[in-house]
Amino acid sequence: MLYWAEGEKDRNSLRFYNSDPEMVRFFVFFLKKYFDLRDEEIKVTCNLFADHVQRQREIEQFWLDVAQLPQRSLCKSYVNVSRHSKKKRTNRLPYGTVRITVCRTRVVQSIFGSIQEYAGFERKAWLE
């Protein structure tokens, strides 16, 4: 259900975006436990704001620790340097957001099928 609400829907790859460490921790735990994924099959990409640049390595490590993944799972971070990103964000998204990616069709299709089964609808575009 987390993926249904917070995930990018693609037929062959799963992308889950969030800023809540507990949701991220649980989602990665779920992927490892129920799909028997190895660390190297799960990628982490940080989405940062302009004021995060000085702490980029610290924030990247924060998300790796939350997800309990090694450094080799980290992909290049994105830094939003737009004018809006430079404004003061007091206590809002102190670690930016993170994207968890898995490129395994069997995982995506299993999750799509489960969502449809639990929610009682059929979306053929997901299962083509």
- Cα–Cα separations (whole angstroms), residue 23 to 6, 20, 33: 10, 5, 15
The pTM assigned to this predicted structure is 0.86
Residue 39: is its pLDDT beyond 60? yes
Residue (of 51, 21, 35, 18) closest to 103 by Cα position: 35
What does the pLDDT look like over 106-128, one tens digit per residue?
Answer: 999 898 888 888 889 888 887 66
More confident residue, 97 or 86: 97
Structure-token match 């994105």, residue found: 78
The mean per-residue pLDDT over the stretch 12-22 comes to 93
If one counts the domains in the chain, the total is 1
Burial class, 84, CB count within 10 angstroms (exposed 0-12 / middle 13-18 / buried 19+): exposed
**Percent of the chain topping pLDDT 90:** 59
Residues 6+ apart with CB under 8 A from 86: 49, 50, 51
CATH number of the CATH domain containing 7: 3.30.1330
The mean per-residue pLDDT over the stretch 68-72 comes to 98
Range of the domain at 45: 2-127
Residue 28: is its pLDDT beyond 80? yes
The mean per-residue pLDDT over the stretch 13-29 comes to 95
